[in-house]
Amino acid sequence: MSATGIGAAVRRKEDFRFITGTGHYTDDVVRPGETRAIFVRSPHARAKIKSIDASAAKVMPGVVAVLTGAELATDKVGNLICGWMITSKDGTPMKMAPHPALAAETVNHVGDAVAVVIAETQAQGRDAAEKVKVDYEVLPSVTDPARAKSGPQIHEVAPNNTIYEWALGDAKGVDAAFAQAKHVTKIDIVNNRLVPNAIEPRVALAEYDSGTDALTLWNTSQNPHVARLVISAFVGIAPENKLRVIAPDVGGGFGSKIFIYPEEVVCLWAARKVNRPVKWTSERSEAFLTDAHGRDHVTHAELALDEHGKILALRAKTIANLGAYMSTFSSSVPTYLYATLLSGQYDIPQIYCEVDAVYTNTVPVDAYRGAGRPEATFVVERLVEISARQMGIDPSDLRKRNFIKAFPHQTPVIMAYDAGDYNASLKKALELADVKGFNKRKRESARHGKLRGLGYSTYIEACGIAPSKAVGSLGCGVGLWESAEVRVNPTGSVEVLTGCHAHGQGHETTFAQIVSERLGIPIENITVVHGDTDKVQFGMGTYGSRSGAVGMSALVKALDKVEAKAKTVASHVLEAAEADIEFKDGKFTVAGTDKSAAWSDVTLQAYVAHKIPWQDVEPGLSEGAFYDPANFTFPAGCHICEVEVDTDTGKTEIVNWTAVDDFGTVINPMIVKGQVHGGIAQGIGQALLEGAVYDKDGQLVTGSLMDYAMPHAHDLPSFNVGLTETKTPSNPLGLKGCGEAGAIAAPAAVINAITDAIGTEELTMPATANTVWQALQRAQPARQAAAE
């Protein structure tokens, strides 16, 4: 391993500009003559738009234009669409309702935009927006997914507000297995609705060049090429050759910036209409009402076991709230990943899962760090933990008995796991967490009036989306391949162009580490370029922890080509047969001789050679490659959470956290650990603090950071992080993704720990002090009886 190569804990190159305030974010981009867009949004959860009177607003100082949904429709701007199809169990296609970028007839959630004011300044735009008079006829609404089917019908295309009723697995086989069971565990779970809250709110800046009839969009996207594709092909704003999308530095996304949002479409449309650049910058409270939310599942699940604790079958029925519209372009994906990962790390012979996706009058719901996999892990790990407790088996032992031990392993729900050693992670975690010493610590806690509990979460993830093989009944033909281009300059420095997009993951460092190792050049001489459709030809972006598994695999393939070509050039430079050229640590050597040439000698010769016949060898050393994953990769691990609960207040303190994860080959252990820390923090947020709440009128009552509690540093313990390594055979580096693991594992570990401490399984997320205190009161008689 070189000091900056694969496996080295290289400090993140990009951090210099971030911590010195010289990062370049979308809101920092200022175009000459720029105007500001302010949206007029519905205050109602569901209403008919009877009329919009913009006359007073139009004459306000600084107002350039006021545009409405009716004009958007007249200009034939297309609807936003979800590109991932799921077919219902009766064979009918999913019911995708029209989603115009500005509502013209009805509004379907608080925050749905009906008009936009374009003004010289933000303040003038805000003042004018208040003068836009919208006459609404308020209609009944529904926000609770469990009541969605009997609520008022939101969209004509979706009777009973049902988008799809999807089923996966063998219902009869599951029934037969349950009939044989000696023990059945049943749970009802609400997977709480989350608001992503990346540090940087979303921004869109659109500029129109009337001379070339071309548009440029600067936005906060995790996947600028896909944004361009959707905006061109479906919304129809401009053909791709007339639309450039640039996502510069992006301050976090966690999934919420995958989607193509109405504001981007409106800014592009408006920029052409007013022939001036138009910028919209979201405010935090606007983000609460417009950024896609996460989770929001209501599930009943059951686990069947034999008398030895061997799992026989799992069945689950889930209602998934997808909000007022299917978000663009992937709102069905989390439910797909949820159902297909219900096997967890276990050898479960039979699984049957039903997912009913419903519309409600709430902000659209889509992928948020984990996207379906935290929901699946929560169901499986709560079931397993409760089963162990009810059967009197040690929870780690029950897990061990049921772990998948041989690979490849085909689960009953599409996924084919390729590699893993779940027992190794559990074993290491048991040691690191000093589980043997737990009872002693529990007694000590009891001495100062506190309850101590231990919770496990042995999660599985699937990353590097590979629908071409594993799609099954998803019915989606999109292949999530990735591209990479390695541009070698004459002096030997290198630019890597990738279709992935970093917004906190450290790609500028980790992608460069691979190049540094392969070509033996200093990491400072390598630049990673992403986020601009004019520079990188195409790419699928970053989400689903795919950049390592897929993006880096494309990079490795491109480097293979570069190395092969460099050897050809070196053979001319060194006047030797190509087969005799060896390349190591940035040096070309003729085998068995001391004749050698440095990397930069060869790169220079590749462009300006005197000895090379260009008829035989094309000039230059730049190469590109694509990588299409044949399968997902399956990171997995064991997290152990230890809590102390104050019986007087119900407050939970996480006193110890152990995470042992298997990400296959690790490129940068420091970055990987940082990713794990961040994910756990968000998972703890879901378990203890966060939850979006709607009132009976469909108002988001937790619509600001005053009401929506995010974890602070003092809510988090010091994480005890370890790694195990089984390389995946599915990609050339043997690497599995790590970006979501913590968020997937954490909620189940926390709730398993608290329920262990308080002695009742009836606990909802977020387990705030009040919720835990209530549960403690309910469990008090049982605890007392057990103590006597």
Binding positions for ligand MCN, rule: CB under 6 A = 198, 252-255, 369, 503-507, 510, 542-549, 663-668, 671-672, 675, 678, 735-740
Contacts of 6 (CB under 8 A, 6+ apart): 513, 514, 517, 665, 667, 733
CA distances from 51 to 132, 156, 189, 197 (A): 11, 21, 42, 33
Angle subtended by helix axes 422-432 and 395-402, to nearest 10? 160
Q: How far is the CB of 549 from ligand MCN (least distance, A)?
A: 6
Residues written for the chain: 788
Report yes or no: 59 and 235 within 8 Å, Cβ to Cβ.
no
Q: How far is the CB of 377 from ligand MCN (least distance, A)?
A: 15
Q: How far is the CB of 506 from ligand MCN (least distance, A)?
A: 4
CA gap 105, 390 in Å, rounded: 54
Report yes or no: 63 and 118 within 8 Å, Cβ to Cβ.
yes
For ligand MCN, give the closer residue by CB, 208 or 329. 329
Report yes or no: 464 and 737 within 8 Å, Cβ to Cβ.
yes
Token look-up 């190395």 returns: 563
Q: How far is the CB of 249 from ligand MCN (least distance, A)?
A: 12
Q: How far is the CB of 512 from ligand MCN (least distance, A)?
A: 10
Q: How far is the CB of 376 from ligand MCN (least distance, A)?
A: 15
Which tokens in the block code for residue 222?
């995790």
Sign of the C-alpha dihedral computed for residues 501, 506, 508 and 510 taken in this order? negative
Q: How far is the CB of 667 from ligand MCN (least distance, A)?
A: 3
For ligand MCN, give the closer residue by CB, 1 or 30. 1
Q: How far is the CB of 168 from ligand MCN (least distance, A)?
A: 23
For ligand MCN, give the closer residue by CB, 395 or 664. 664
Count Cβ atoms within 10 A of the Cβ of residue 153 and give its class: 0-12 exposed, 13-18 middle, 19 or more buried.
Answer: middle
Report yes or no: 654 and 642 within 8 Å, Cβ to Cβ.
yes
Alpha helices in 634-763, H assignment, sequence order: 669-684, 741-758
For ligand MCN, give the closer residue by CB, 197 or 768. 197
Burial 312-338 (b: 16+ CB within 10 A, else e): bbbbbebbbbbbbbbbbbbbbbbbbbb
Q: How far is the CB of 504 from ligand MCN (least distance, A)?
A: 2
For ligand MCN, give the closer residue by CB, 456 or 663. 663
Alpha helices in 520-588, H assignment, sequence order: 552-573
What count of other Cβ atoms lies within 10 Å of the Cβ of residue 100? Answer: 21
For ligand MCN, give the closer residue by CB, 518 or 546. 546
Give the DSSP letter of residue 694: B
Question: Is the peptide bond between 140 and the residue preceding it cis, with omega within 30 degrees of 0?
Answer: no
Question: Is the peptide bond between 329 and the residue preceding it cis, with omega within 30 degrees of 0?
Answer: yes
Report the SS3 class of residue 303.
strand
CA-wise closest residue to 262 among 102, 54, 411 = 102
Report yes or no: 415 and 341 within 8 Å, Cβ to Cβ.
yes
Q: How far is the CB of 427 from ligand MCN (least distance, A)?
A: 21
Q: How far is the CB of 682 from ligand MCN (least distance, A)?
A: 9
Q: How far is the CB of 206 from ligand MCN (least distance, A)?
A: 23
What count of other Cβ atoms lies within 10 Å of the Cβ of residue 712? Answer: 10
Residues pairing with 25 in the sheet? 249
For ligand MCN, give the closer residue by CB, 549 or 721. 549
Q: How far is the CB of 256 from ligand MCN (least distance, A)?
A: 8
DSSP per residue, 583-634: EETTEEEETTSS-EEEHHHHHHHHHH-SS--TTTS-S---EEEEE--SS-B-
CA gap 200, 197 in Å, rounded: 8
Q: How far is the CB of 670 from ligand MCN (least distance, A)?
A: 9
Sign of the C-alpha dihedral computed for residues 432, 436, 440 and 443 taken in this order? positive
Contacts of 130 (CB under 8 A, 6+ apart): none
CA gap 765, 265 in Å, rounded: 36
Give the DSSP letter of residue 689: I
Which tokens in the block code for residue 244?
């450039």
Q: How far is the CB of 560 from ligand MCN (least distance, A)?
A: 19
CA-wise closest residue to 624 among 679, 555, 691, 688 = 555
CA gap 355, 337 in Å, rounded: 11
Q: How far is the CB of 369 from ligand MCN (least distance, A)?
A: 4
Q: Which residue is nearest to ligand MCN (CB)?
A: 504
